[in-house]
Each structure stands twice: as structure tokens, then as C-alpha cells.
């Protein structure tokens, strides 16, 4: 028979297995993470826009700035296509795809409860918006604008902050999926799969 003379706090200390972890909240009580997603996207977008403005202002095409010999340089490239210069003649299609990604991420984020998913999707959203702004507002015109790329590392194609955000966010989302972390804040185990 269990004595009821002990205060509730002492009972929880006596049985640590039943003590709730204050850092982990049940999925039903976890907050919606849309604000976090949007904040991360806004920070990444601002950083992308500022770096592109500075690069266009201070780096002349064909005159790279060496950071680490010829391995890491800053050079201004205007890219009409996607990564690895694919789809260079289909800039309008890439713009439509980016619009779809932005809409999809925001809609998905409205019920998101996982902090890590919010971080990954925020990075993807910020990167998509950064390159989408270039496609809408840079020459040669709306939906056909060329993206400003400027970071060159070895043999890798020249990229920008937005590209980095998209790639890092996508890698994080794939890792979360592989390790069973769900967007609702729960974790899928091998037994439940």
C-alpha cells in the first residue's frame, strides 16, 4: 500500500521514471512552429539579399577576389538556370517551381510542431525566396531574371547564400526523415514502422 503522506514533489523524486521532462512536451501540447519557420526564412533572406547587393556593388564580372588561393574565390556570375547551370532556357519554369515551393512550405508550416523541421523548412523557404526575388526583379525581366551567384569553392558550381540555405535545409529534412523525426514533433521507432 502506498502512503499518501508524501507531498507530490517528493513522490516524483522517488520515482524518476514518472517525472516529466520539462524540455520535452507532448506533441499535442507542442506549439505550432510557423513563427520559427518564418523567422529563420526572414534572417536567411535578409542575409542573401545583403550579400547579393554587396557583390553586385563591389565585384566586377571576370575579376574574382581570392579568399584562399584559387580554391575559394568570390566572383560575380549571373545564372539564368538552376544548379549546375541546368534548365538555362527555362527560367520562367524555375520561377513557377519556386513559387510552388514557397506556397507549399508556408501551408505545411501552419501545422508544424517540430523545431528541427521548422529550421529545415525555414532554410528552404528563405533560400527559395532569395532566388525567386532575383528571378522577378533582376535583368532581363520578370520571371526571367538571372540569379546572382558569387561563392566559388574548388570544382563546385558557383553558388550564393540562398542556394546554401536550400541545400542545407533539404539535407536536414532528409536526415530527420531517415531518423524518424516527424513534423508533428513525435519520433517514429522501428516497432511503430
Tell me which DSSP letter residue 181 carries: B
The CA–CA distances, whole Å, from 157 to 8, 75, 174, 178 equal 61, 11, 22, 27
Residues 6+ apart with CB under 8 A from 7: none
The CA–CA distances, whole Å, from 67 to 33, 64, 147 equal 38, 9, 22
In angstroms, how far is CA 75 from the centroid of its own chain?
Answer: 24
Give, to the nearest 10 degrees, the angle between helix 34-58 and helix 161-178: 150
**Catalytic site residues?**
149, 163
Amino acid at each position: 500500500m502506498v502512503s499518501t503522506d508524501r507531498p507530490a514533489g517528493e513522490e516524483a523524486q522517488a520515482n524518476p521514471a514518472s517525472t516529466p521532462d520539462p524540455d520535452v512536451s507532448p506533441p499535442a501540447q507542442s506549439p505550432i512552429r510557423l513563427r520559427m519557420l518564418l523567422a529563420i526564412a526572414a534572417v536567411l533572406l535578409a542575409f542573401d539579399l545583403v550579400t547579393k547587393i554587396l557583390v553586385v556593388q563591389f565585384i566586377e564580372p571576370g575579376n574574382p577576389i581570392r579568399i584562399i588561393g584559387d580554391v575559394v574565390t568570390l566572383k560575380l556570375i549571373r545564372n539564368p538556370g538552376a544548379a549546375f547551370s541546368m534548365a538555362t532556357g527555362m527560367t520562367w519554369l524555375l520561377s513557377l517551381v519556386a513559387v510552388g515551393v514557397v506556397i507549399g512550405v508556408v501551408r505545411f508550416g501552419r501545422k508544424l510542431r517540430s523545431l528541427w523541421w521548422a529550421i529545415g523548412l525555414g532554410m528552404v523557404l528563405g533560400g527559395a525566396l532569395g532566388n525567386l526575388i532575383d528571378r522577378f526583379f533582376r535583368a532581363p525581366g520578370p520571371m526571367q531574371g538571372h540569379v546572382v551567384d558569387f561563392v566559388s569553392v574548388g570544382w563546385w558550381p558557383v553558388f550564393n547564400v540562398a542556394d546554401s540555405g536550400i541545400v542545407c535545409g533539404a539535407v536536414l529534412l532528409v536526415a530527420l526523415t531517415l531518423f524518424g523525426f516527424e513534423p508533428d514533433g513525435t519520433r517514429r521507432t522501428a516497432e511503430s514502422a
